[in-house]
Amino acid sequence: MISIQHDDLHYFRFDGLPHNGVAQHAVFSRQGGVSSAPFNSLNMSMSVPDERDRVYANRRRVYGLFGRDTETVVHAHLVHGDTVARVTQADNGTWVEHVDGLITNQPGTVLSMNFADCTPIFLYDPRRHAIGLGHAGWRGTVVDLPGAMVRAMTEHFGSDPADLVAAVGPCIGPCCYEVGEVVISAVESAFDRPETLLRLPDAGHKRAHDNDHRFFDLPEANRRNLQNAGVKTVEMSGHCTACRTDLFFSHRAEKGKTGRFGTVFALL
């Protein structure tokens, strides 16, 4: 990812995704907003007990970078499922209910989602001029939300998965994502060679001899979902949100007392 400082805002772009007259995108860090701790400072979400005026001020800064505001981007009420909605300009300013994937091929539509450890998924089809933005925590990952996004783009826009350019954004990494039996068995059911996604604790770790715990490689699992759906090009952010709470909000590392950082994908 490319790191960009713009006044107080610090955000990231993927090398492989367009940021030009065709489409624009950004993954925002937590820096450059007006919220106070533990939402410091660029918290985008009202699902945490931050002050409304501050969240709206943060949103103005983030969406303003795209010449937009809260009323002119599409939002989603995320539910950790595999439902994908096709949206258009008419959905700008609305909250799409019960979805974790948004796709569009209509210029002027701006997709937005907020995160704190779950995986941001970006999809771009240069041939069909279409984009997708998704949200996959462990639940969305084991039900293959990224694959559902690819299939929805094929169904609605005629996308060939081999044409798609994908990016996996900052999420909690295998260094920090300790999981128990429920997640382990879900990953074992969902993936081939699950042992390669579930690392044993290092010797010396407090749970080194506890057979019920593993470290789940969430970004790699989503890369595999995309590849299994036929996507050839997947760029990885390389950032762990829990390691980098200076840059990102992390639900796990901050024990739930934190905000949400923003992502935006605009089709022009």
Residue 60: count other Cβ atoms within 10 Å of its Cβ.
Answer: 14
Measured between alpha carbons, how far is 99 from 209 in angstroms, rounded to an integer?
39
In the set 120, 173, 219, 262, which binds Zn ion (CB under 5 A)?
173
Q: Which stretch binds Zn ion (CB under 5 A): 41-49, 103-111, 169-177, 223-231?
A: 169-177
- State which of residues 242, 264, 266, 267 lies at the interface with Zn ion (CB under 5 A): 242
3-state secondary structure of 229: coil
Strands 84-86 and 101-104, bridge-based pairing: parallel
- Distance of alpha carbon 127 from the chain centroid: 23
Per-residue b/e over 148-183, b at no fewer than 16 CB within 10 Å?
Answer: bbbbbbbeebebebebbbbbbbbbbbbebbbbeeeb
Is there binding between residue 179 and Zn ion (CB under 5 A)? no
134 touches Zn ion (CB under 5 A): no
> 46, 176, 179, 190: which one contacts Zn ion (CB under 5 A)?
176
Q: What mask of x and - would describe binding to Zn ion in positions 193 to 232, judged by CB under 5 A? A: ----------------------------------------
Least distance from C-beta 149 to Zn ion, angstroms? 25
Which of residues 249 and 265 has its CB atom nearest to Zn ion in the complex? 249
Using CB under 5 A, list all residues that contact Zn ion. Answer: 173, 175-176, 240, 242-243
